[in-house]
Structure 1
Amino acid sequence: MTIGIGDKLPNATLKTKTSDGPADLSTDEIFAGKKVVLFAVPGAFTPTCSMNHLPGFLTHNDEIRAKGVDTIAVVAVNDIFVMGAWEKANEAAGKILFLSDGNGEFTKALGLDIDLSVAGLGLRSKRYSMIVENGVVKSLNVEESPGQAERSTAEAVLEQL
């Protein structure tokens, strides 16, 4: 079953890269008492993710935060080292929280997993964005195809804030 508007996010542990190395972050640490924009990509460094989806959240970072957003985070079913390299390559440190869902446990619990084995990618996340307040989904924008970024863009999120 796919998570919906009004649902509480499932408890999960994700990883992020810190100056001391990989660190665990619980969903409570990320979302409790905060307004968070979370977007997900099928894969770091993939063309649509790197050229169309992530850049909007960097460009509109200040505008999104001006709407009362505490954190902008991106999650992918990639390992923490890939996510860290993607953050560095996009000079996004301090702007976007990069989260690794290496085994896809969070993604599966949301019901937003997709099998991209046909493209040699295995289990991945559908492309989506959501606004989460204190762990509860307030808006959810899921793309029909992993190769498109239209419903889940930073611009779409700005309209919903």
Structure 2
Amino acid sequence: MGLRLDRSAVAAGSGWSAMTRGFAVSAGSDIVEAAPGVSLQKARSWDEGVSSQFSTTPLKDIFKEKKVVIFGLPGAYTGVCSQQHVPSYKKNVDKFKAKGLTLSFIEFYGDFDGSFHKSLDLSLDLSAALLGHRSQRWSAYVVDGKIKNLNVEEAPSEFKVSGADVVLDQI
């Protein structure tokens, strides 16, 4: 447990222009308090989901008393997401372990209704590109629920500040 991926759906958008804006969370924010009552859906097989009655995981169980790197992406199985963003974390698992994160693999959690990203003000509307509401592309280093570093890309197609190398340098 330690690296978390929150994936919010399918393709990252063309036709979306970036705006500079503030977010509901920043360094020092408590990620659990910022999203009260929110739980995430851990990725698992269909049979495992049925067996667990598709239970969700409260944020406190993911973040409290742990050192966690979490990142969000606008679309699974898209070029930037699956060829750059996710692999940047996968290839650096040993480096994260060396930095004191307790993990043995990357865990995937889905924000099935968007409530996590909406609570953190890290969602974006890509309806103009027929993609609906998505996660921003972002990453954060979180210790005992407190955000130490938050990195948000200017546009969903960018991959400049949310990758593993940036986070590793911040820890």
1:140 paired residue among 127, 137, 150: 150
Counting strand residues as a fraction of each chain, which structure ranks higher? 1
* 2:97 aligned residue: 65
Q: How does 1:8-157 map to 2 (within 5 A)?
A: 8-9=30-31, 10-11=35-36, 12-18=38-44, 20-21=48-49, 22-71=54-103, 95-157=105-167
TM-score between both structures, scaled by the size of structure 1: 0.82
Equivalent residues, number:
139
Contact 1:14 1:27 in 2 (8 A): yes
Root-mean-square deviation over aligned CA pairs? 1.3
Segments of 4+ moved more than 6 angstroms: none
CA distance in 2, matches of 1:18, 1:48: 23
Equivalent AA in structure 2 for residue 69 of structure 1: L
Q: Which runs of 5+ in 1 are unaligned?
A: 72-93
Identity %: 40
1:29-88 Cα offsets, whole Å, 9 max, x none, are 1001000000000011111100110001000111012101125xxxxxxxxxxxxxxxxx
Q: Does 1:2 align with 2:28?
A: no
Of 114-123 and 27-36, deviating more is 114-123
Contact 1:42 1:126 in 2 (8 A): yes
Q: Which runs of 5+ in 2 are unaligned?
A: 1-22
* 2:10 aligned residue: none
Q: What SS does structure 1 have at the residue aligned with 2:60?
A: helix
TM-score between both structures, scaled by the size of structure 2: 0.77
Q: Which has the larger radius of gyration?
A: 2
